[in-house]
A and B are shown apart, each in its own frame.
Chain A
Amino acid sequence: MNFRMSRIFGIDLGTTNSLIALMVGGIPHVIADPDSGDALLPSVVALAPDGAIAVGDRAIAIEPHLGDERDGRVGAAGSPGGEAGMVVRSVKRYMGLGGGELAPEDRHRYTFTDLAGPVVRFLVGKRVYTPPQISAEILKALKQRAEAALGSEKVERVVITVPAYFNDGQRQATKDAGRLAGLEVVRLVNEPTAASLAYGLHRMAEGKVAVYDFGGGTFDISILNIRGGVFEVLATNGDTHLGGDDIDRTVVDWMLREEPDSIRTDRLVWNSARWVAEEAKRRLSTFDSVGLRLDLADRHIEKTLSRAQFDQLVAALVDRTLECCRLALADAKLDRREVDAVVLVGGSTRIPLVRRRVGEFFGREPLCSLDPDQVVALGAAVQAGVLMGTQGDVLLLDVVPLSLGIETMGGVMERLIHRNTTIPASTTETFTTAVDNQTHVDIHVLQGERELAKDCRSLARFKLGPLQMQPAGMPRIEVTFLIDANGILNVTARDERTGREHSLDVKPSYGLTDEDIERMLEEAIDLGEQDLEQRLLITARNDADQILTALKKQLKDYAELVEVEERRRIDEYAARLEAARVGQDRELIARMVEELNEITTPFAGRIMDGAIKQALEKKSIEELS
């Protein structure tokens, strides 16, 4: 490698708070804001109609509340709190979802263009923002924070954590956010898995470990087997719409239950009530009873909430988390008594009721020696270390949380990769035509556990073809479904007879298309973009280096297998690639690599043939003797 690789940072892109961390001397550290000293960046983004954006505390400062003197307040990024501005909280709840998939309570919180499309779009004045764009602002703020704290070092490559129970679309949206922030997302890591790395690295937890991750917006439970540096996820379960937000909402509902609809659905009332509820929740972790006060325009609401009452309000939510635990244990084929350690992750595990119920469920005292707000970010940094090669002995075996399959005749979901299969995972299916001269085959890919396709989540539709006109059943196309280490699906197709790659036209059912992202990137004039371009160029050059080195070796080892004319052509193409390699045009380099690959294919084939012949000869001699 002819360049100095920058370090990889770990990012916890949370529903409520986000953090950035780094491995220093074999120990993960959260990078605090150099000015305020805060480790947590509130995942709050303020969007002004004029395009100004503020993130974190600056966004919270301009969040409109009841009784505020709005006019005089101007945020650092303009006045996003003004009439048509918007302050977005918990954008993670909208990532990768179509409008129809939103939780009912999330549908009315903000103004959207429409909720019919494959992507939710926030409408701010005349501007439109998708969830990945808003998340990208949080990522950019983290990047700036780390760069300010570290001085000369750039943040270019990151690991981002996602809830283990995130589906393909939600994962893709998270990667898109990274790309829009000008970052290379080297890996997505499941949050509970990251937490287990933070605990397991220093042997704070070993054996069968349950990670109970109850955060601001999502709940995950993962059961792992940790030993000898191997972190094997046995099963995971969860709910991507179950977290501290829901607890706050339950308290708000309780607080406003006697109010008319006009009050309960008012966004300003909601903002203020949510704040009061969150405060009350926090204080109830220490006090037995707290007072809540909400000032309306003409009067105020005053109530007292005891811890016993609060416990009652949220008991159903906690029950739901324990039901997920039961399912995960069943999938892991473990009895809850066989669990050696329980780790608590996420801010919601500070609630005494949660701790008590989890302790009772597993019959053991849960571990929380690492700060539940920071442990995921710390784990992300550990994973970044693994990817940089500095944690040599760690082997992380994660799983796909939801089954993946295709729609078959009669609208039935046929499972191809079962949930809790270790990733990367792949499977191949052969497709053919149903009628004569059929030129295309449609493949509908689904994710979920239900029997009928309509009850599962549509992931994408693939159009296979054009196929040669043939009688029905003659074409045999082998389609490979591969879930990568990020838990994201990749699909490739090839003709079984010719072995040729087949083209696939992909239509994701939800989320952004590549063109969407390209356009957003063009719109965002950002230095990060140039950095990304630079890295893509470096990657292309590396690819070129690899093929050139391998080719040189082959030409030396197997010189007798190349004809003179062929050799001349190969040299010519290799020289062209060498020339392109030192230039700046990465697409040209990629094209030259392709071309060189193609013209050397017959040569590579002869090497293989020769080797097989040799091996056969050797075998027959062995068999004779």
Chain B
Amino acid sequence: MVQCPSCARVQEPSLVCLRCGSPIAADLDLFAALSLPRKLQIDLPRLEQAYHDLGRRIHPDRFATSPLTLRDSSLRATATLTRAYRTLRDPVSRGLYWLELNGHKLAENNQRVPQDLAELVFEVQEQIAGLRVVRERQSAGAQELGAQVAAKRMDLQRALDELFDDLTALFARFDAAEGNHRDSLFAQLKSTLAKIAYMRTLIRDVDRELDSAKAA
């Protein structure tokens, strides 16, 4: 429960007072901040609409000439609103936040190669290492090797896209599941998020290597 600092109304957690419209700088979970149900499946246009609607009511632009206390709560409430929007808009940060919200944590230095993708990963790593050597020695064949890496990059992207499909499916299962079945879902969520993080890093490395090769 939160209390409006202006009119003293006590209400369900929200960043805006439902009676007097004052912003409330409450420490809310990010779903509540956007007045959304605690569900992982989010309709993005609706999310944006909620963000804009609430933003119009509590943004510091609305309280620029108000007393200090109101200006301050508008500032802090809007910062919370923005954080909520940015976190929930992106499925990966939404998933990570879901873990945090439920007392789970993704292992920090999870650098293990995802097993089912190991073959692809090793092949790519070998290729970009080769590309680096060719570039450093300025020997021939850079172009050809670059083309091979570029082709493999498409495979990586496809694998990443599939992981995102997995994530979407997991979100749906979470929303449908009852308490007991959730434990196994959390394990799957962690694994999928770790894989996505790994693949993103790999793709970034590949892009860097391709850029340097192009520049050379």
Mask, A413-425, CB within 8 Å of B = 1, is 0000000011111
Total A residues in contact with B, Cβ cutoff 8 Å: 45
- Whether A550 lies near B8 (C-beta < 8 A) is yes
User: 20 A–B contact pairs at CB < 8 A?
Assistant: A5-B65, A8-B65, A186-B64, A187-B61, A386-B61, A387-B64, A388-B65, A395-B61, A396-B61, A424-B60, A426-B83, A483-B79, A539-B67, A543-B67, A546-B67, A546-B70, A553-B8, A557-B8, A612-B1, A615-B12
A393 at the interface (CB under 8 A from B): yes
CB-CB under 8 A for A611 and B83, given A230-B52, A396-B61, A546-B67:
no
* A542: Cβ under 8 A from any B Cβ: yes
- Is A485 positioned at the interface, with any CB of B under 8 Å from its CB? yes
- Supposing A389-B62, A424-B60, A553-B8 touch, asked if A542 and B82 sit within 8 A by C-beta, the answer is no
A424 CA / B83 CA spacing, docked (Å): 9
Name A507-554 residues within 8 Å CB distance of B: 539, 542-543, 545-547, 549-550, 553-554
A-B contact count (CB 8 A): 96
Are A397's CB and B55's CB within 8 A? Answer: yes
Judge whether B118 is part of the interface by a CB distance below 8 angstroms.
no
Say yes or no for A482: interface residue by CB 8 A criterion: yes
Task: Give bound CA distance, A421 to B7, whole Å.
Answer: 32
Interface status of B10 (Cβ within 8 A of chain A): yes
Smallest Cβ-Cβ distance to A397: which chain B residue: B55
List B contacts of A452 (CB < 8 A). Answer: none
Contact A550 B5 (CB under 8 A): yes
Asked whether A443 is an interface residue with its Cβ less than 8 Å from the other chain, the reply is: no
The answer, among A389, A426, A427, for a CB contact under 8 Å with B76, is A426
Inter-chain contacts of A422 with B (CB < 8 A): 82, 85-86
- Please give the number of chain B residues whose Cβ is less than 8 angstroms from any Cβ of chain A in the complex: 31
A10 to B56, CA, bound (A): 21
CA distance A545 to B79 in the complex (A): 26
Select A482's contact among B67, B69, B75, B85, beta carbons within 8 Å: B75
Interface code A368-406, partner B: CB below 8 Å = 1, 0 otherwise? 000000000000000100111100011111000000000
**Which residues of A lie under 8 Å from residue B64 when comparing CB positions?**
8, 186-187, 387
From known contacts A422-B82, A424-B78, A484-B60, infer whether A611 and B3 are also in contact, taking CB-CB under 8 Å.
yes
CB distance from A104 to the nearest CB of B (A): 28
Segment 80-96 of B: residues with Cβ below 8 Å from A: 80, 82-83, 85-86
Determine if B10 and A611 form an interchain contact, defined as CB atoms under 8 angstroms apart.
Answer: yes
Beta-carbon contacts under 8 Å, B1-16 to A: 1, 3, 5-8, 10, 12
Majority secondary structure, B binding face: helix
Q: How distant is A153 from chain B, measured CB to nearest CB, in Å?
A: 17
Please give me the residue from chain A that is nearest to B53 by CB atom: A395
Closest to A424 in B: B79
Asked if residues B75 and A484 are in contact (CB atoms below 8 Å), the reply is yes
CA distance A549 to B70 in the complex (A): 14
CA distance A553 to B12 in the complex (A): 19
Judged by a CB distance under 8 angstroms, whether B215 is at the interface is: no
Q: Is A434 an interface residue (CB 8 A)?
A: no
Question: Is B195 among interface residues, defined by CB-CB distance under 8 A?
Answer: no
Given contacts A426-B83, A483-B79, A539-B67, list 10 more A-B pairs with CB under 8 A: A387-B65, A485-B60, A485-B61, A543-B67, A546-B67, A546-B70, A547-B69, A550-B7, A554-B8, A608-B1
**Bound Cα distance from A160 to B5, whole angstroms:** 31
Asked if residues B52 and A395 are in contact (CB atoms below 8 Å), the reply is yes
**Contact between A550 and B67 (Cβ–Cβ < 8 Å)?**
no
A625 to B174, CA, bound (A): 26
Taking CB atoms, residues of chain B closer than 8 Å to A549 are 6
Q: A557 to chain B: which residues have CB within 8 Å?
A: 8
Q: Is B68 an interface residue (CB 8 A)?
A: yes
Give the CA-CA distance A8 to B162 in the complex, in Å: 53
> Which 7 pairs show the lowest CB-CB distances between chains A and B?
A611-B10, A426-B79, A387-B64, A542-B67, A485-B60, A424-B79, A554-B8
Note all chain A residues with C-beta closer than 8 A to B59: 395-396, 485
Assess whether A482 is in contact with B76, with CB atoms less than 8 Å apart. Answer: yes
Q: Within the assembled complex, what's the spacing in Å between the Cα atoms of A539 and B5?
A: 17
Tell me the nearest residue of chain B to A616, going by C-beta: B1
A268 interface residue (CB < 8 Å to B): no
CB–CB A395/B3 < 8 A: no
Tell me the minimal C-beta distance from B179 to chain A in angstroms: 14
**B65 close to A426 (CB less than 8 A):** no
Interface residues of B in 36-85 (CB under 8 A from A): 52, 55-56, 59-62, 64-70, 75-76, 78-80, 82-83, 85
Interface positions of A from 602 to 619, Cβ below 8 Å from B? 604, 607-608, 611-612, 615
Please state if B70 and A485 are interface contacts (CB–CB under 8 Å): no
CA distance A395 to B61 in the complex (A): 8
A25 CB to nearest chain B CB (Å) = 20
Contacts of B70 in A (CB 8 A): 546
Asked if B86 contacts A615 (CB within 8 A), the reply is no
Give complex CA distance A398, B69 in Å.
23
Contacts of B79 in A (CB 8 A): 424-426, 482-483
Complex: A615 Cα to B80 Cα, angstroms = 24
Q: Are A607 and B76 in contact (CB under 8 A)?
A: no
Residues of B within 8 A of A484 (CB): 60, 75
What separation, in Å, do the CA atoms of A344 and B37 have in the docked complex? 44
**Is there contact, CB below 8 Å, between B3 and A604?**
yes
A387 and B61 form a contact (CB under 8 A): yes
* Contact A546 to B8, CB < 8 A, known contacts A425-B82, A426-B80, A611-B1: no
When the two chains form their complex, are residues A395 and B55 in contact, meaning their CB atoms are under 8 A apart?
yes
Q: Nearest chain A CB to B166's CB is how many angstroms away? A: 23
* Contact, CB under 8 Å: B56 / A395: yes
CA distance A427 to B66 in the complex (A): 25
